[in-house]
Every structure is written in C-alpha cells, then in structure tokens.
Amino acid sequence: MDKADEFAAWPLTEMNNPRATDIDLRSTREILQLINDEDRGVIDAVAAELEHIAAAVDAIYTRMREGGRLIYVGAGTSGRLGIVDASEMTPTFSVPRELVIGLMAGGEEAMFRSVEGAEDKLELGREDLVRLAVRAQDSVVGIAASGRTPYVIGALQEARARGALTISLACTFPAPIHQMAELYIAPLTGPEVIEGSTRMKAGTATKLVLNMISTTVMIKLGKTYGNLMVDLQPTNQKLRERARRMVERTTALPREEAQALLDRAGDVKTAIVMHHAGIAREAARERLAAAGGSVRRALARE
C-alpha cells in the first residue's frame, strides 16, 4: 500500500485538519474562534443523517413495544456518551434501568479512567452481549467515532447472531462497524481541530444523535404529553416543583389546587387524566394502563 492509499484508508476522524495546523501559534481568542467555527458544521452533519436516524428510531420503537431493550455499546468517549444517555432515561421517563443500557469496553472502571487494551478485543464485546442475554427483541447500537473499534464490532457480531436489531453510529463512512449493522448512522464531522481527538466534533455529533434516538423513542412510547416530561420521577425539590407546574399548566388549576390534585393522584399522568376525564385515581390508572401509559391516548377514549 503506498502512502496515498494508506491515508485514503484512514477514517475521517483520524485525518489532519489543515485549518488548525498552526493552532499552537494562535491567541486564546483565535483558538476559541477556530474551535467554534469547526463546531458549527456538526449540526449540518447530523441533519444530513436524519433519514437514517428516523429509520433507527422506528425500528427500535417497534422492538421496544414488544418488550425489547435498547443497548448502547462503545469504548472511550463513545462508550461514556452511551452510558450517560442510558442513565438519564430512568429519572426523565421513569423507565426501568434495565430497559436502556450502556455498555463500555473495560466496564465501569473505564468510565473514569482508561482500561488499556479493552477496546481492542472482539471477544470482550461478544462476552458482554452474552452476559446480557441479548435476544431478538433487543436493539443494539454500536458507537465508534472511527468506525473500527474491535470491541464494538464483536458486540455487533454477537447481537446479529442472536437476531437483535443492529445499528452502527460512526463519524466516518465507509467503516467496518457499518458493515456489521443492519442500519447505519454516519454524521461526517470531518477531521478534528486536534488530530484524532474525537471527544470534540465527533463526540458532539454522537451526543446529539443519541439524544435524538432516545428522546424520540420515548415520545413515541407515550412518555410525554405534548413536550412535557409527565413521566418524570420527582426525586428532589426541583422536580417536585416541575411536576406541580405541569399539572397547573395542563389543567389550568391554581397552584394550591394543582398540588392537591397531584397529591391525590400520586403522579403527574394520573392527575391529568383524573382532571380531564373527571374520574377517580384508580379509574385513571386503569385507563392509562389500557393506553400503554400514554396520556394522549388515555384521554382520546373520552
């Protein structure tokens, strides 16, 4: 392989950014401006993948309605972003912790410090999927900015062998992980300001895509009413106040009456259905259960 072929084989995320070759000679303000200018392209790179993201969301939603799980698999920054997104689903949407899961090469220790060599082993990815007993209803999203992390490839191979939905997310194309997946998402963010530092533009794009996937799936599952997170867990004072404000906004009740209704109902969704349907708490909960937890569908039964 000559030098030209070698560079052509590199993923976009590993190439050198010609606009930043003198970054160490620039002033603080100029460095910040360059980083900001480069970041502007991330939104367009994600926008170019909306059709692929939509296909992934619809496929995940279909499987989650049948009891499937959403599983993110990654290493380094990609793995951490998957874990962060997964960890937010329970407090935001009150889903069980085992419904959306983040797996990372090297395990929990790697969340905070590098575990040398963990991402380079195909078998570790396979073993983590075996340990989770992945099945056909599950959806596995392999995340690797460079598109070639062995741990992620191994996980996708095992997921596919078990009949699970496989989706690849990488900031380059073509890439080995795309070849392992049924669906792919490839926001092309280009070379980083610091060569290979994919915690930057690639990390931002990955965060955006994961937010879009998980949030849209939860909306489709009825975890919101309009744009209100009516399934939140009010585990602190801020969230308790937010819960009361949601009841106020959706019922037009004064603050004290909204709080009293929320206290009787026990949760925001039940309070809204009780008020608009004019029914008692247990009847409201039964209606919500029949509607798959969706306030909108529960009230449509009127």
Which is catalytic among the residues 14, 88, 257, 286? 88
Say which residues have a Cβ less than 8 Å from residue 160's Cβ, sequence separation at least 6: 166, 180, 181, 182
Given 49, 108, 109, 119, which residue is catalytic?
119
- Name the amino acid, one letter, at 37: D
Other CB atoms within a 10 A radius of the CB of residue 32 amount to 11
Q: Is 51 a catalytic residue?
A: no
116 is catalytic: no
Side-chain-side CA neighbours of residue 229 (13 Å): 18
DSSP 194: S
Other CB atoms within 10 Å distance of the CB of residue 208: 18
Residue 232, token pair as written in the block: 């939140």
Which H/E stretch holds residue 258? helix 255-265
Alpha helices in 20-149 (DSSP H): 28-47, 50-65, 76-93, 122-131
From residue 200, alpha-carbon distances to 39, 212, 231 in Å are 8, 18, 32
Are 163 and 133 spatial neighbours (Cβ–Cβ below 8 Å)? no
- The set of catalytic residues is 88, 119
